[in-house]
Amino acid sequence: MDINTEVHHAFEVIQNGGIILYPTDTVWGLGCDATNAEAVQKIYQLKQREETKSMICLMNGERMMYQVFKDIPEVAWQILDLSEKPTTLILDDPRNVAANLIASDKTLGIRLVKEPFCYKLMERMKKPLVSTSANISGQPTPLSFKEISPEIIKGVDYVVNLHRDKTASKPSTIIKLTQDAQVKIIRP
């Protein structure tokens, strides 16, 4: 399958409130439209995950980040510029996303991606893409497509047919930033 065909199929499913299983710049992920609370709920149910454990959003650039956050600390841009591996930032006061994605402390984890499939899909969606590891909550994160449980594969509306033979890198580094410029490393 070529990337444009896969982007088209995934986009159609997401437009209709569906959830997809797709390769990211780190591990295989479950995703949906970050503004669709019902689709987000489907992912929580599939993962058997409490809604209090928030998920992250992938974004494809500065413009999308400013759609979701009015104020982005300068240090966020410095971290993103200097990061050599995929880095998730947790930022304060998100807006324009489903309420059930926002953590109880009014934060949201985001990651800028350049991975071609994810980037092109968000370019088409013009919205952030939910991303959470493709496993039942509490089970190990699958590092390749063949490690993903049949329960997860059957539970999604579409499985992207790209990079199925690739072994993933590790999950991203997670750094929490607050408006008053406090920096806390959650996962190195």
User: What pLDDT is recorded for position 27?
Assistant: 87
User: What pLDDT is recorded for position 30?
Assistant: 97
- Residues 79-101 have pLDDT tens digits of 999 988 899 999 999 999 999 99
Q: Is 61 left (phi over 0), alpha (psi -120 to 50) or beta?
A: left
Instruction: Report residue 112: phi and psi, to 5°.
Output: -80, 130
User: What pLDDT is recorded for position 51?
Assistant: 76
